[in-house]
Structure 1
Amino acid sequence: MIELDEIDRAILRALSRDATQSAGALGRALGLSQPACWRRVRRLHDVGAISGRRLVLDTNALGFGVTVFLGVSLAAKGRVSLEDFERAVSAIPEVQTVQHVLGIYDYRLRVIARDLSDFERVLRRRILTLPGVGAVDANVLMSEERRPGPFG
């Protein structure tokens, strides 16, 4: 675990709000020179505190109005490898995340669809036909708020 000082925490908070900021702009906002800020950001990358940047798409604006969380239990553990299931489910474009979890289900999937009938099509034709799928439980997302973590 890395030791973070208050400036490191401020950098992480600022980057979690807008990861596109330049080191110069970030440094000005935090009272640092551009080189000092760049060195700190580079160190945070090097030690793994920052593992990359990602683009967040607005799925509603792109026409995907339904998000469903699926709990998936594999029917025959041992008959299909976890890697085979993960590879197959990851190839489905509507599946946004694949999480191997401990508990009632083996996997938790985040699936987007245009509407409920589109989700039904994805479920029946793609997800339920995957190797090893047993029980599936669905929860439709009603609303979502971003809750900032300790640095955002």
Structure 2
Amino acid sequence: MLELDRIDRAILAALQKDGRLPIAKLAERVGLSETPCARRLKRLESDGYIEGYRALLARRRLELGVVAFAQVRFSVHDRALSDRFEREVQGIERIVSCHNVSGTADYLLQIVVRDLDEYGVFMRDVLRTLPGVTAVESMLSLREIKRDTSLPIS
């Protein structure tokens, strides 16, 4: 893995703010001509610093008004059961993030749904039926203060 220099970090920072930045504008922002900038960008992509590009969608415009965080607990800590749980979670689009965590819970899930009624149905019919789940504690987001938009690049 190569060490990132100031220009590499500037490219990454600029792309986190606007992933659709044309190469000419990107090169101008980081103080390079287009060809060396494009070469660096390709290298950052191939070396895995850039995993992909995507659009940030407006959750409310898509009528996804509720964000919930669910702490999921298992009573039996079996590797095969955890693997099944993790595989099933991958296929559930309402679960937008899943983390295996330390502490009193085994997993922390972030879930988006239309409303509280939909969340109740999701809890009953989906979340509580996942392999290994014995307890779920929910926390509802009242207001989003900061959105996951970028990583610190220093």
TM-score (norm. length: structure 2): 0.88
- State the match for 1:48 in structure 2: 48
How many angstroms does 1:60 deviate by?
A: 1.1
Match of 2:138 in 1: 138
- Aligned equivalents of 1:79 and 1:24: distance in 2? 49
Q: How far did 1:31 drift? A: 2.5
The alignment partner of 2:12 has SS state of helix
Structure 2 Cα separation of the partners of residues 143 and 11 of structure 1: 32
Secondary structure at 1:16 match in 2: helix
Conserved 8 A contact 1:89-1:127: no
Please name the residue that 1:81 is paired with. 81
Residues 66 and 140 in structure 1, CA contact (< 8 A), matched pair in contact too: yes
In 1: Cα distance, 2:61 partner to 2:14 partner: 25
CA separation in 2, counterparts of 1:30 and 1:6?
9
Higher alpha-carbon deviation: 3-12 or 47-56? 47-56
Query: Per the alignment, in what secondary structure is the counterpart of residue 81 of structure 1?
Result: helix
**Secondary structure at the counterpart of residue 150 of structure 1:** coil
Matches of 1:146 and 1:94, distance apart in 2: 17
Helix, strand or coil: the match of 2:85? helix
Residue 79 of structure 1 deviates from its aligned partner by 8.2
Identical pairs, percent: 38
Partner of 1:95: 95
Cα shift at 1:28? 2.1
Instruction: Tell me if the contact between 1:64 and 1:112 (Cα under 8 Å) persists in the aligned partners.
Output: yes
CA RMSD of the aligned region, Å? 2.0
Instruction: Give structure 1 stretches of 5+ with no counterpart.
Output: none
**Mapped partners of 1:59, 1:146: distance in 2:** 11
Contact 1:16 1:151 in 2 (8 A): no
Contact 1:79 1:132 in 2 (8 A): no
Structure 1 pair 93–146 and aligned structure 2 pair: CA distance change class (3 A):
closer
Aligned residues of 1:80 and 1:132 also touching (Cα < 8 A)? no
1:25 is displaced (CA, Å) by 2.0
In structure 2, what is the equivalent of residue 104 of structure 1?
A: 104
Gaps of 5+ in 2: none
